[in-house]
């Protein structure tokens, strides 16, 4: 029996969660992701929708969901619709600071809901038009919030991260640890504090 259910098909979240040593199954949530909320509120609302949708299918099990948005001035940059949209996003981010918000939601075995928000500031170096077009041609930006992946090719354009690198990738491990502890689930690689 797995320790929990990850309500996401994201390979990045799967890789990060596997670092904890916990066993988990995957049941990706299919929810309406449209919202008129600002970026911070949107990620909290969307991760909650995902967690509750999966928890309804698996009563009595711990569920973990997350949602990540890139934003500038609290205006969210989701996944690009096409190559032109990816180029537009990257032009907007080039040479500037922006925020990456990741909301995390857990549902405990007894149905308690715990949510939290991770915020990181990310700075892109100036990207030339050739840099942008070459990067978009790799295909990497097409399924990523903000049209880039910190852990991928885009890492060469990111000059500084202030915050949680795992949060920028899609699952902030310190926050995830805290919320799973609230559900009574201890991460095996972390020794419990004896009182």
Q: 129-137 and 83-93 are packed helices; what angle lies between their axes, rounded to 10 degrees? A: 140
Per-residue b/e over 98-122, b at no fewer than 16 CB within 10 Å?
A: bbbbbbbbbbbbeeebbbbbbbbeb
Q: How far apart (Å, rounded) are the C-alpha atoms in residues 27 and 54?
A: 7
Active site residues: 67
- Cα atoms in the 13 Å half-sphere on the side-chain side of 65: 27
Q: How far apart (Å, rounded) are the C-alpha atoms in residues 103 and 65?
A: 8
Q: 173-182 and 11-18 are packed helices; what angle lies between their axes, rounded to 10 degrees? A: 70
């Amino acid at each position: 029996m797995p320790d929990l259910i990850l309500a996401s098909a994201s390979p990045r979240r799967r890789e990060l969660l596997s670092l904890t040593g916990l066993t988990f199954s995957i049941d990706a949530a299919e929810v309406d992701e449209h919202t008129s909320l600002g970026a911070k509120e949107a990620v909290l609302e969307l991760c909650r929708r995902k967690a509750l949708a999966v928890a309804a299918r698996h009563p009595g099990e711990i569920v973990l969901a997350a949602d990540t948005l890139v934003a500038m001035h609290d205006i969210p940059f989701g996944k690009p619709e096409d190559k032109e949209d990816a180029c537009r996003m990257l032009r907007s981010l080039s040479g500037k600071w922006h925020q990456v918000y990741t909301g995390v939601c857990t549902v405990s075995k007894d149905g308690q809901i715990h949510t939290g928000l991770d915020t990181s500031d990310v700075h892109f170096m100036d990207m030339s038009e050739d840099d942008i077009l070459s990067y978009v041609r790799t295909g990497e930006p097409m399924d990523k919030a903000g049209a880039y992946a910190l852990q991928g090719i885009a890492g060469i354009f990111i000059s500084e991260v202030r915050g949680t690198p795992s949060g920028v990738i899609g699952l902030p491990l310190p926050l995830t640890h805290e919320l799973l502890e609230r559900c009574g689930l201890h991460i095996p690689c972390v020794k419990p504090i004896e009182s």
